[in-house]
Amino acid sequence: MRKPKSAARNRSARTRSGSERPGRERSRRKPGAVLSVVILAAGEGKRMKSAIPKVLQPLTGRPLLKHVIDTARTLEPDAIHVVYGHGGERVREVFAAEQLSWALQAERLGTGHALLQVMPQIPGSHIVLVLYGDVPLITRETLEGLLALAGERQVALLTMAPESPHGYGRIVRGRGGLVQKIVEEKDATAAQRAIRECNSGVLAAPAQLLSRWVTRLKSDNSQGEYYLTDVIAMAVKDGVPVHAVCARDASEVLGVNDKAQLAELEGLCRKRHARDLLLAGVTLADPARLDVRGTVRHGNDVFLDVNVVLEGAVTLGDRVRIGAGCVIRDSEIGADTEVFPHCVIDGARIGPDCRIGPFARFRPNATLAGEVHIGNFVEVKNSRLGEGSKANHLAYVGDAQLGSRVNIGAGTIVANYDGAMKHATVIADDVHTGSNSVLVAPITVGAGATIAAGSTVTHSVPPGQLTIARAQQVTIPTWQRPTKPGK
């Protein structure tokens, strides 16, 4: 029997919106049990119609496999083993920084064959938890419940009760609720087809017994594959109890096989994140039009308008308002700040009571003190703006340090790049730059200085004075505009 092929839905292990991750509960595994997690991730994913391996397809900004690895880590296993195959070296490169053990399935001959590749690496005294790289939304709570039923002479099987059991293997229970067998739908009687409980493919078993069972698997089926779930029949035959626990939400254990199912999961994650934020007190203009692709911490009375995207680690202070169509990535926004529509904020630290946008862009290492105004079509990169400073229209501020109460006029450019190197500009307190000015770094502008409109400043500016750096205006009365021949 094969792992079910369908889209997944669930409430995944999550970071609570607006707070640190809650303290983890004590593991419910049996005392002394040592856990090894095996993630089967060798599938090619032809139905994805993509050059990207299936387990690297993105879900809420992270590869499918990353979701599974992160959940597995919350169980504090002794080791996490990943069985890889299609696109294997690319998969390993993506997860090079992770502490993982890898096993190659050179020939993809089914889930049982995949597990066989890794079993020699696992001590016989361990409990083995088998997960799937394309089942990304299974929760820690569900897995803890499953592991509580596994032991030295016990197998635990995760089941589900989907809205429609069509196509799934049915779970037939015997005395005491133990699993008696798994019956494929094509082989089931009418009474068995009426059973709602179905197999998920996720299981936990003692390594010593599991290793013995997978070596006995046969490929005498229409696909010529070795099915992992055949070990359930072996366990029953050997008198080993098989306990089953049904996932609270069937969507936790459904797999991803094509882009339509991947999009369905994205929608389910969107709904789950929105609900978490709403329950934590955030106001959402439309819960269906919010994308959270990371973790969000927030204060009270935060408002998010439609089509907001939050990526990476985002922190929103009390009473922050985010306008429609904004993208915020790995940034902190202070209390009482309002971000107007269609801003992109990436790697920025924005202080309290600021006004941002619309159509502003922050590149990494932009830092704003309190009460700063950044207006439409202004870009800030690797710069710090002091308290009360303003750049209200059509400006670029790069690699600059601005003091307090600086006013950057419309069209001002801090020209930080000479074609090879970046250079710094220092602008002291209370400086005003006129419209359409260019400050060619590296320069320093002294406190209280004013730069006249249209100036191109290439040398440092003294404090408290007006600096004009522009060509003299000349009118030529005898000049005539060129015309085309024949006119």
Domains of the chain: 35-258 (3.90.550.10), 260-467 (2.160.10.10)
Read off the amino acid at residue 1.
M
Q: Average pLDDT in the 359-387 region? A: 98
pLDDT (average), residues 369-390: 98
Tens of pLDDT, residues 93-150: 999 999 999 999 988 899 999 999 999 999 999 999 999 999 999 999 999 999 999 9
What is the predicted pLDDT for the residue at 270? 94
Per-residue model confidence as pLDDT tens digits over 2-26: 344 433 333 222 333 433 333 344 4
Q: Is the pTM of this model over 0.85?
A: no
Q: How confident is the model at residue 167 (pLDDT cuts 50, 70, 90)?
A: confident
Mean pLDDT of 211-220: 92
Percent of the chain with pLDDT over 90: 79
Q: In the prediction, which pLDDT does 12 show?
A: 29
Q: Please compute the mean of the pLDDT values over residues 175-202 and round it to a whole number.
A: 89
CB atoms within 10 A of CB 253: 30
What amino acid positions are annotated as catalytic residues? 393
pLDDT of residue 473: 86
Mean pLDDT of the chain: 91
- Local confidence band at 33 (pLDDT 50, 70, 90 cut-offs): confident
Across 79-88, 262-271, 307-316, the highest mean pLDDT is recorded for 307-316
Question: Is pLDDT of 206 > 80?
Answer: yes
- Report d(CA 6, CA 440) in Å as an integer: 58
| Listed range (310-319, 465-474, 478-487) with the worst mean pLDDT | 478-487
Question: Predicted confidence band at 457 (pLDDT cuts at 50, 70, 90)?
Answer: very high
Q: 242-296, pLDDT tens digit by residue?
A: 999 999 988 898 889 999 999 999 999 999 999 999 999 999 999 999 999 999 9
Q: Rounded to whole angstroms, how far apart are CA atoms 299 and 282?
A: 8
